[in-house]
Amino acid sequence: MGDRFAHLAHLPRPRDAVTMWVEMGPEAVHFLDAVFSAFDGIGNVRREYREQGATKLFKLYVAPGCVAEAERLLRSAARFVPIGEVWVEQ
C-alpha cells in the first residue's frame, strides 16, 4: 500500500499561528470564544492567561494572515465586553 499523502510532500510547510495577548476579564473570554467561533478559521481563544501586574492577558491564536481581521473583531467586541490592550507576539 503506497503513501496516500506522498503528493503533499512537495508543498511548503504551513506558517505557524500568530499569538496575541488580550487584556480582558474571564467574562469576556466566553464572549470572544463565541465571536471567533462564528468566523471559522480566524482565531482560537484560549483560557490560558498570564498576569502582568493586576492585569490578566488571555492568549488568542490567530491564523497566519488574519491578524488585521482579528483586531477588527476585537474592536467590535469591545462595544459589548471590556477589552483592553492587545499585544501581538513577535
* Residues forming a β-bridge with 19: 61
In this prediction, residue 51 carries a pLDDT of: 93
One-letter-per-residue 3-state SS of 54-76: CEEEEEEEECCCCHHHHHHHHHH
In this prediction, residue 2 carries a pLDDT of: 67
Give the global pTM. 0.81
Please check whether residue 32 is in contact with residue 25, taking contact to mean a CB–CB distance below 8 angstroms: no
In this prediction, residue 33 carries a pLDDT of: 94
CATH class of the domain at 21-88: alpha beta
Please check whether residue 57 is in contact with residue 87, taking contact to mean a CB–CB distance below 8 angstroms: yes
Q: What is the pLDDT of residues 57-85, one digit of tens each?
A: 999 999 999 999 999 999 999 999 999 99
Q: What is the pLDDT of residues 34-46, one digit of tens each?
A: 999 998 889 999 9
